[in-house]
Chain A
């Protein structure tokens, strides 16, 4: 009788222990996926209502979602690489703001129509250093060859999962920006990069 009771207690304890271990990681997974799903839902929304919203409407609608979904300080810091440390606090904040506006402008500009596309979340798995990799695909039409794989790397900060990198068909947005921006800073300086970012944002607005 005593051994049966002990066995039950052990089983319950083991079960509780398993819950303690598994629940947080399961919750983390779903939270990271939620961040990506929210971004995709907002993108589909501006795609479907592209014409009625216009560029400024799409920009205003996607802006708060981008702000909530992306870890812009991290992204800017990584993108500027070794040049980040050379900037003062104010300059760093200016660059973070420029990259945020640039990201919003490009989403608003590129996702400007809808012809049956949909996003599918394929998997979510832990990456190194507590990060999470959410793999998704943008299904463009019936030809599988035209689909775009979109892998999101997320980091948790103060309980919120935010995107730190987007890898599209194997091409990392962060690495591209780091190389491209680094080349400009190296030859022309940070002020030139800032001017170019602002110029591109203005071009996107005026093109609409």
Chain B
């Protein structure tokens, strides 16, 4: 078994599709989260809402361990071919979001190619269960409104952990409802079918994240901090389509800050 790194941005992201809840929760918890910023103490300047985020992380973790992870474990017993078909279906179902955002980001060629991909897979690929486009070499891409906002220069805002929806930035949280509105899933007007599809989507995502979550559980000492850092970096990576600026990859300027601190300490200017 090979280590699976990354994929953190997809964690819980499928639950974005549940828009009525999503909008409500967003409105509610962004407000609550802002309130938590005034909690006394020494908040991490990079994570001013940490107390709120940690409690939401705990809530999500409990929910995951109690319901989602056990169901995903059972789901993983289905033969790989079946799970791949289900995953292909949900990827295809979310593809209009990718198509629209390619155009909004000015990546017209990718936009047309992704549109072709969606048409091929929806028709020849039998509603997306078979990835025909992938078989003929059209790559699978993943764009959303949060990435588009980033490309437009909108800053990410604070890190935020939402109940059920998981790790976000304010920017990606605000973009969440737009992501939902661009998904065909919202046109399903039978509540029963909608709930079943959303649940299977969540289980599929959780099953695919299982190796990454296991890796986190095996390596992280503070899983909340680990998830936050991995999420933020992974988002930066997808915003830059897998080619984040070299300086971000190096990320070693902090060492110079440490050394400066060491010098100041040794000179006795600070303790």
A residues adjacent to B (C-beta < 8 A)? 47, 77-78, 81-82, 84-85, 106, 109-113, 117, 127-128, 131, 133, 138, 140, 143-145, 148-149, 151, 153, 164-165, 167-172, 174-176, 178-184, 193, 196, 200, 204
Contact = CB atoms under 8 A, between A and B. Distances in A.
B233 interface: yes
Nearest to B211: A110
A193 B140 contact: no
Contacts of B246: 127-128, 133
B222 interface: yes
Given A110-B1, A151-B249, A171 B6 contact: yes
B100 to A, nearest CB: 20
Shortest Cβ-Cβ A-B pairs, 9 listed: A170-B237, A169-B6, A168-B5, A85-B262, A183-B222, A110-B3, A179-B229, A183-B225, A171-B233
10 contacts: A85-B261, A165-B249, A168-B3, A168-B6, A169-B5, A171-B230, A175-B251, A176-B233, A182-B225, A196-B221
Nearest to A187: B222
A200 to B, nearest CB: 7
Given A148-B4, A149-B242, A180 B251 contact: no
B252 to A, nearest CB: 7
B134 interface: yes
- Which of the listed residues A106, A165, A167 has the most CB atoms from chain B within 10 Å of its own CB? A167
B189 interface: no
Contacts of B233: 170-172, 175-176
Interface in B218-271: 218-222, 225-226, 228-230, 233-234, 236-238, 242, 244, 246-247, 249-252, 254-255, 258, 261-262, 265-266
Contact of B140 (A81, A145, A171, A172): A145
Contact of A169 (B219, B222, B234, B266): B234
Nearest to A86: B265
A184 B221 contact: yes
Given A77-B255, A153-B250, A170 B140 contact: no
Interface of B: 1-8, 134, 139-140, 215, 218-222, 225-226, 228-230, 233-234, 236-238, 242, 244, 246-247, 249-252, 254-255, 258, 261-262, 265-266
Contacts of A153: 249-250, 252
A169 B237 contact: yes
- Please report whether the interface of chain B is mostly helix, strand, loop or mixed according to DSSP: helix
A175 B251 CA distance: 8
A143 B134 contact: yes
Nearest to B226: A180
A85 B249 contact: no
Given A148-B5, A169-B237, A171-B230, A128 B250 contact: yes
A77 B140 contact: no
B1 A82 contact: no
Contact of A106 (B219, B229, B234, B242): B219
A170 B242 contact: yes
Contacts of A181: 221
Contacts of A193: 221
Contacts of A180: 220-222, 225-226, 229
